[in-house]
Amino acid sequence: MKTIQFREAIAEAMSEEMRRDETVYLMGEEVAEYNGAYKASKGMLDEFGPERVIDTPISELGFAGIGIGSAMNGNRPIVEFMTFNFSLVGIDQIINNAAKMRQMSGGQFNIPIVFRGPTASAGQLAATHSQAFESWYANTPGLKVIVPSNPYDAKGLLKAAIRDDDPVIFMESEQMYGDKGEVPQEEYVLPIGKADIKREGEDVTIVSFGKIIKEAYKAAEELEKEDISVEIIDLRTIRPMDHETILNSVKKTNRLIILEEAWPFGNVSTEITYQVQLQAFDYLDAPIIKLNTADTPAPYAPNLLAEWLPNSQDVIKAVKKVLYK
């Protein structure tokens, strides 16, 4: 094993796949000359040249469409959005073309394309740059949605996404690019659609994903001092969702908390809640609790932002509520 940063895991995944398959290339704003806005493509221009690591104009609608057309013609583009907030400019191409082309062409066209970049809040970036879009894209048939929380998962899942014959939304976090973690020296690929039990527990299940899962880890460590055993499931893939792992855990612990950095209305937590009450209602000893951001645009002031986001203390209170109510 070796220890690398999240951004290095992303760069390694892309570089290894580009060496393996000459139809894979990267395009986006500042991915080439600047080594990526977050240095997640550092060194790739030097190795692969400007025909495979391509700086684009500030035109998400344009280069999203170019990538889709390229995928229809046999390539495997990786399209980087500097932030998924900017993907809204190109969302017509993603939803109405990438997601639907296979069905609308009667299976004549696969769209093997990856759209990747940061999602959710990243500090004081104001309301229009602090939005979580996982549930938006997961709502669309034809798209796969991945949100890793650590370098190991990021590398293995990005390699799988690049090899997939369907369009994949791969969401990262600006606040995780410097996170370090162990990854194998040898090549590995992780399956899309399989959650991971990050921590075994007996008393309560917490389901989360992305950078907010760190708050679950903090809470679990504190609760362990009170002999409360927490099981933490990292979804990793939002669509397709691994219902089986969640249900099996709930059947063991009989309690469920879902921690998600997103607005509370119609989000990923809502879907999990529905599936669990549908398939494991009789196993629940307490109501399911969803922990989300406040139902407002993200504030700019740091003290308000801290209140807006769910945190480890919120998790601890929720655990005690489902245990002792």
The domain spanning residue 22 has which CATH number? Answer: 3.40.50.970
Same domain for 247 and 141: no
pLDDT value of residue 284: 98
Instruction: Find where tokens 């139902």 sit.
Output: 295
Does one domain contain both 118 and 178?
yes
Contacts of 11 (CB under 8 A, 6+ apart): 36, 40, 41, 42, 43, 44
Within a domain: 190: no
According to the model, what pLDDT value does residue 325 have? Answer: 66
Residue 243 annotated to the active site: no
In a domain, 61, yes or no: yes
Residue 191 lies in a domain: no
Sheet holding 230-234, edge to edge: 196-199, 230-234, 204-208, 256-259, 289-291
- The set of residues, in sequence order, having a beta carbon less than 8 Å from that of 307 and lying 6+ positions away, is 294
| pLDDT tens profile 67-99 | 999 999 999 999 999 999 999 999 999 999 999
Which range marks the domain in which residue 30 is found?
2-183
Q: Which residues of the chain have pLDDT under 70?
A: 325
3-state DSSP assignment of residue 78: strand
CATH code for the domain of 272:
3.40.50.920
Q: Is 47 a catalytic residue?
A: no
Strands 144-146 and 237-239: antiparallel
Report helix angle 312-324 to 213-224, nearest 10: 60
Identify the CA nearest to 40 among candidates 86, 75, 5: 5
CA distances to 193, 256, 293 from 309, rounded to whole Å, are 27, 20, 5
Which residue, of 133, 161, 183, is where some domain finishes?
Answer: 183
Domain count, the chain: 2
Residue-level pLDDT at 66: 98
- Residue 247, pLDDT score: 98
pTM for the model stands at 0.97
Per-residue pLDDT at 237: 98
Identity at 85, one-letter amino acid code = N
Q: Which of 12, 80, 129, 271 is catalytic?
A: 129
Same-domain pairing of 228 and 167: no
- Considering 17, 60, 80, 172, which one is annotated as catalytic? 60
